[in-house]
Amino acid sequence: MPPRRSTGTDAEAESPQYAGQYLLEAQLGSGGMGVVHLARSASGLRLAVKVVHAEFAQDPEFRGRFRQEVGAARRVSGAFTAPVVDADPDAGRPWMATLYIPGPTLSEYVKRNGALPTARLRQLMAGLAEALRDIHRAGVVHRDLKPSNVLLAEDGPKVIDFGISRPSDSELRTETGKLIGTPPFMAPEQFRRPRDVGPAADVFALGSVIVHAATGSGPFDSDSPYLVAYQVVHEEADLTGVPRELAPLVARCLAKEPEDRPTPDELMAELRSLSASYDTQAFIPEQRTGEQLFEPGGDELPTHRRGAPAVLDGTRKKPKKQGKANEAQARASWRRWVMGVAAGAAVLALGAGAVVLAGTGETEASGAREQGHRFRAWERELSARGAEASGMPQCTYGGSALYCTRPGVLAAAVDPLAGDVKWARPGPGGHADGNVQPPVLAGGLLHVVSEGSRRLAALDPATGTTVWSQDIARYDGRIAHVGGTVLLTGPDSTVTALDAATGERKWRHQVAGLAQPVFQSYGGRVAYAVDADGAGTRVTAVDPETGDVRWQRRLAGALSLVGAREGVLWFTSTSAAYADTDAVVRYDATGDTQRRVTLRFPVAGAQAAVAQDTVYLLGADGALTAVDTGTSEQRWRLETSVSFPSAPVVAGQRLYFGAGDGRLVAVDAVKGALLGQTQARPGAARGAVVSGLPVPVAADGKVFAGAPDGVLFAVDGAGAARW
């Protein structure tokens, strides 16, 4: 049967003849997001070209997500994927061209030929483990690995479709959001805490794919997506039919908790040990020709030809019988899960087949002349004698030194030019003591919280000796430095103010109208307490020297303070439905005026930095947005493809943030263009998506950052293109 061509009266009947310079010869398939065409390059290379539907081409948010898909596909483009040849996400009809792979999908192969024999299953499992290792090394989490996203090519399996989401595709709707994905191949955490999904979710999906290849159905089987989701989270996998030698390893892949699953490297090692006669010969299925692209009457297309992942397609060939009562119970449990995910967000922010990026990039270290000194990029392993250090360094800049802490290192002073350690003190007992925040320079001393937030130590910055210390266990982390004062809030709402230089008490009493306040300060001499409730947000300005309330206002919306300067405060506003940032608010306390700038697209998991009147929002999915609160406009938006980044920091016309694999990323704060990134420093947990990253320190033209491998490094801030 020849490839299908555009016929009929639908919108795609008038498909374009070209995508860029590529002539579109035949339509391979159509899906919710677009149409995939067979095309040829000028040299005759066969390509699969995805062209976005015209209706989505007009949607700026969709374009942004398609741009991220292109970036993700390019990042992982290699031996285990369909390589990206060309793309234009900014075209009138955005498109992406990948190398055409004639092999069938695993889904098609099993449908036509039945289950794979044991030897081929082992090869498939090893090939997919190798593919995931390569994908995770690029910092990508696929999130939608399933049989229709695995191509059986001549040289081994290829993982395809690093696709984008379309919210209206979701067939499973809730009052708070939509889950987009394929339940039989989704990991439990994708239902329970979708924002924290990491590489282990792909390993779970791999286990489900192998069960499908071995039995023709998945380990969780029902005609209801609700029941499938319930089974994935609560019930044991059905491994009936999986070969005995592979079943234990598949069961480990399908463990409910991510930390209990093997890594791709561990999978490959165990597969090699299963048999001394481990067969590494490639499994080459029958390759499709132009006459075999579609079965007569077939209704399943390879995902990379459909242009969109399946959305909550929970139907299976052999559904298990379930009573109405069980289904009702599962539906009720499902609603509780979705309502419990902080109002759902848009639950998988990038959707099925979405990617979570914490990618890599290798560039050269740069050098620059600065303040009469020759500065060269450096890196150091921060440690202290007698201490077993682990974790990422967190630092603050003091002009003549960089002051850092790290689990196992109470504090250290580092020469910012050369990286030499001037002094370092181990944590109590020489063990990791769980530092959770960078040091603070206050009252001429270096303040460090240590021992699992149980003690505040004030050190001499020149020598590291203790000047005074205070037990702060009862304050449960409610500590703030405001100018030369340390504010500690007790469980009874009593606030104790200490002199940062001497540790002596300045005052101790409850602040009028505040219950257990958590104070914030942004370099000024005012302490702000922000308390959001269902009716709005109460903002209180407190004099740290006396504890007196200077002013108090109630503002509309659920607000979080992200910056303050000379009586002007900047907030992010959180939507009630999705818990995403949907607006930025500028409040001038002097004139009691406020300006609200609504975002075009809500930002999930936003962290913010403020410079002048511009608020920079960096989302958990790497979307970076600049909002000018002076002119009430969104200046630019950049898809950085970094998942769970650090909070951003702005220095001059540049913005910096860290990625989970240890990269430092630089962006032009004026134009919204990527300037450069350092090489990755992932450490022992290579391939893991790391959250809770330390904020980079930008000062005197240099940028300092800590990485997951424990390294502290410094680069020239102006030389990002040469990093």
424, 425, 471: which is closest to 452 by C-alpha?
A: 471
Q: How far apart are CA 52 and CA 653, in angstroms?
A: 35
Residue written as token pair 């998945």 = 218
CB 147, CB 310: distance < 8 Å: no
- Mean pLDDT in order along the chain per 10 residues (723 residues): 37 65 83 82 87 84 77 76 87 90 88 91 93 83 89 86 43 38 85 77 95 93 81 92 94 94 91 59 44 32 32 37 48 44 31 30 35 76 70 90 91 95 78 64 93 84 96 90 95 95 96 90 92 88 96 94 96 84 95 94 91 95 93 91 89 94 93 91 61 88 91 94 89
CB 634, CB 655: distance < 8 Å: no
Determine if residue 39 is left, alpha or beta; phi over 0 gives left, psi from -120 to 50 gives alpha, anything else beta: beta
| Tokens at 48, concatenated | 């699969």
682, 634, 642: which is closest to 662 by C-alpha?
A: 682
Considering only CA atoms, give the Rg of the chain.
Answer: 28
Q: Show Cβ contacts of residue 641 under 8 Å, excluding neighbours closer than 6 positions.
A: 68, 71, 72, 75, 355, 357, 359, 622
Q: How far apart are CA 164 and CA 628, in angstroms?
A: 28
Helix axes 199-215, 264-273, angle to 10 degrees: 40
Residue written as token pair 């919306």 = 557
**Residue 505, SS3 per DSSP:** strand
Q: How far apart are CA 73 and CA 96, in angstroms?
A: 10
C-alpha distances in angstroms, 646 versus 193, 449, 617? 19, 20, 11
Helix H, strand E, coil C: the string for 656-713 is EEECCCCCEEEEECCCCCEEEECCCCCCCCCCCCCCCCCCCEEECCEEEEECCCCEEE
Q: Can you give the pLDDT at residue 388?
A: 61
- Start-to-end CA span in the chain (Å): 52
Q: How far apart are CA 574 and CA 286, in angstroms?
A: 53
CB 501, CB 560: distance < 8 Å: no
Strands 607-611 and 623-628, by their bridges, are: unpaired
Q: How far apart are CA 616 and CA 634, in angstroms?
A: 10
Q: How far apart are CA 516 and CA 511, in angstroms?
A: 9
For the chain, the 3-state helix, strand and coil shares in percent, each to the nearest 5, are: 20, 35, 45
* DSSP structure class, residue 105: B
366, 356, 357: which is closest to 676 by C-alpha?
A: 366
State how far Cα 452 lies from the chain centre: 26
693, 572, 682: which is closest to 622 by C-alpha?
A: 693
Q: How far apart are CA 260 and CA 125, in angstroms?
A: 18
Q: Can you give the pLDDT at residue 230?
A: 87
Strands 593-603 and 581-588, by their bridges, are: antiparallel
Torsion angle of alpha carbons 476, 482, 484, 485, nearest 10°? -40
C-alpha distances in angstroms, 508 versus 103, 181, 477, 490, 498? 74, 54, 17, 10, 9
